[in-house]
Structure 1
């Protein structure tokens, strides 16, 4: 293990030095990556569960189950169902009481994780290699046999509703929920992950069980792992523990309906808040689009900073927080910036944000481009020594695009993006497009939507 870490550390230092020196030894560089990123193997079981594994020389493994289930697969009437099921999954199964499940996990020294987003649900754990069979059995039981008693469901709904007040206190989450609500209004992507008070109040145990029966199917499931487990072993565990997972549907299988993007805005003015919080975005590409990497580079070039950490540029000195984002879904996305600023600076900083978009689309420098590429590559390399980060990437990638691209290919695709491509792709998504705006707080001074829309025209230099 120590030798492996030393090898990785040495590679990171060499690659970092090449970044800083601006060396262009791309052949040697990509060859060096083969010693850092291990290949990901993918196999299909007889009942169509996808099994994906990245084997490394590690004493621990992160293994988990990823499912195509989330808020985008819900209706307005059952919005929040996927999140509720995820929260209840580790609270007991038809085979294990909650106390027994918690005791088993504690005895293994494993750490459980779970999440639900708008398109995916995941249950995973990090454990010692010798405990992988037990963890896979435990996760499989939790996913296939969740205990959804009416009393437990009612208590969990009460808990979610109580936490809603705490979520409202996290203004950044509120801004992004509103951003989705206005950008994808009238479609499932407009729904929040936790659900509305109305939908949660009407959900019963039978509704959650119906969602499980409709969505937790073999062909919608990935068993993913990264660490000291081999693909052959993981495949046997999948066949043993998930081999009976049903893959038949009552009617048509659930599919993602097209979510129409609408340029629009939503503002929640509250002058009692000390700062203005707002997000400004345009529609971006989906996971499979060739435009995703160039636009990700553009987003990285725009960057992020926090005044409390002292890392802000003169151009953004009016901000307290500034963060570029590039949120990606199966067939769409949101490319934009999130800003926290003084109330009377909303207009000026929004103008500055639009100018930055147009500058990237018109005249990003080679130095800016190289820096953005290096930052992206560094992030990728820094994740390679984390089985948790790798497992998350495997599960997410297999569900989103059906495979996980080798690290060397990802790095090569980043390196091969030209200055002109970044400008062209940024121009394609920004210039003369209808933006979406979500604003909370004392936002009276934020320029009106018509003015914002007019400023989306790019003046050629």
Structure 2
């Protein structure tokens, strides 16, 4: 077969994106971030919002605000050549307008996302819509529910324990004053960052457009930050009527400003992810994947490193129809975690670094960027991120794992047919091993 040199050069010349530019104007942070995968996205990022700034009585109010922004503006945006979206995270909320005309996008965001009266339009209808979505979520998205339960038990009675999705009970009990109070408290000017992503950006012109925004109706007083604290614990909701088991185990991870932020992410990618129905998953080469394939003990797993303002979670989430082999996979996974401290190889780390680079380059979403902004981390270019990842060695992974993973307390969550998931003490004992 002939190899095309044109094809080779196409792959070799994929451009990186250049450095983001940051400016302060009128107490607002303005960022332009070049991206080859975006077409002039303009986003408002509020770093004092999200579920961690809700409570157990108004949980889900962010989702109502997000749905209000989308529902009340979708038709108008389409008419003007835009697409609107709003996303909610643990520590942020974003409002995005995607389209070619940046000036019109900013104008629309000012009218729709920065004006409380607009966000309160059609409150009852929007509330009913969000309740319906949440009920469907609670009865079908078990992997995401396990993740929310993991946060709830790991960060008990602290801000990160509050679920992003809200609950159907709390959302149905909201009144419009709850929304109004949340907007005044969380969608504030002093925590606002305005981001433009795309190609051929003009930072100075964008800053000039932002400086003309009328923000007199936006509150400038925000609530103080409350730290979340990790505690080793578990929550299990066994339900044998479900077709499989979902479970997750994690230790405390790194914050977004930690010097070991990328070390933790590389460590997670040493084990990566696996899906039984995806052919590519069988060819990753990790020892954990080889164990899974040899004994056919699981349907899928994914290792993660989630980072927030002052803490994080590092671990895995798994699901399986082979409910009598849950304990085997858990044992294999934790023994591989032990190996991070003593025998992870340079080859494994090199493969993990390349996998992480691909992941970062493929996920240039406003959500991932907003998490960094909300946590107070520097917004870096792809080149800067790749440079930081390239510096990580096997010794760095071993040192980090010895401090953060070896013999550390864990958080466990699970639902479905989880009878074979070992008790907490036995799993906790697997966090260490005889080294001699």
- Distance of aligned partners of 1:59 and 1:301 in 2 relative to their CA distance in 1, 3 Å threshold: closer
Cα distance, 1:112 vs structure 2: 1.8
The size of the alignment, in residue pairs, is 417
Structure 1 residues 243-392: aligned runs within 5 Å = 243-244=215-216, 246=218, 248-249=220-221, 253-310=222-279, 311-312=281-282, 313-316=289-292, 317-341=296-320, 342-382=322-362, 389=364, 391-392=366-367
Which residue of structure 1 aligns with residue 285 of structure 2?
none
Cα distance, 1:453 vs structure 2: 1.1
Cα distance, 1:434 vs structure 2: 1.1
The one of 403, 411, 414 equivalent to 1:439 is 414
- Distance of aligned partners of 1:222 and 1:12 in 2 relative to their CA distance in 1, 3 Å threshold: farther
List runs of 5+ in structure 1 lacking aligned partners: 1-6, 16-34, 93-100, 384-388
TM-score for both structures, normalised by structure 1 = 0.84
- Distance of aligned partners of 1:301 and 1:231 in 2 relative to their CA distance in 1, 3 Å threshold: same
Structure 1 window deviating more from structure 2 (107-116 vs 420-429): it is 107-116
Cα distance, 1:110 vs structure 2: 2.2
Q: Distance in 1 between matches of 2:274 and 2:365?
A: 26
Which residue of structure 2 aligns with residue 71 of structure 1?
51
Counterpart check, 1:232 vs 2:204: yes
Q: Residue by residue, what CA displacement relative to the aligned partner does 1:242-278 show, whole Å, maximum 9, x if unpaired?
A: 55464532xxx31331112111111111112222111
Structure 1 window deviating more from structure 2 (48-57 vs 345-354): it is 48-57
Q: Residue by residue, what CA displacement relative to the aligned partner does 1:357-404 show, whole Å, maximum 9, x if unpaired?
A: 111222111111111111222334446xxxxx2655544433322531
List runs of 5+ in structure 2 lacking aligned partners: 1-5, 283-288
Which residue of structure 1 aligns with residue 131 of structure 2?
161
Counterpart check, 1:398 vs 2:373: yes
Instruction: Classify the secondary structure of the residue corresponding to 1:229.
Output: coil
Q: Distance in 1 between matches of 2:434 and 2:214?
A: 57
Cα distance, 1:56 vs structure 2: 6.6
Counterpart check, 1:223 vs 2:203: no
Which residue of structure 2 aligns with residue 122 of structure 1?
94
Q: Residue by residue, what CA displacement relative to the aligned partner does 1:83-118 show, whole Å, maximum 9, x if unpaired?
A: 2111112333xxxxxxxx444322333222210111
Which residue of structure 1 aligns with residue 402 of structure 2?
427
Q: Distance in 2 between matches of 1:382 and 1:199?
A: 35
Which residue of structure 1 aligns with residue 3 of structure 2?
none
Q: Distance in 2 between matches of 1:58 and 1:451?
A: 46
Q: Which has the higher helix share?
A: 1
Q: Distance in 1 between matches of 2:274 and 2:238?
A: 25
Question: Do the aligned partners of 1:72 and 1:256 also contact (CA within 8 Å) in 2?
Answer: no
Instruction: Classify the secondary structure of the residue corresponding to 1:350.
Output: helix
Cα distance, 1:354 vs structure 2: 0.4
Cα distance, 1:160 vs structure 2: 2.4
- Distance of aligned partners of 1:374 and 1:353 in 2 relative to their CA distance in 1, 3 Å threshold: same
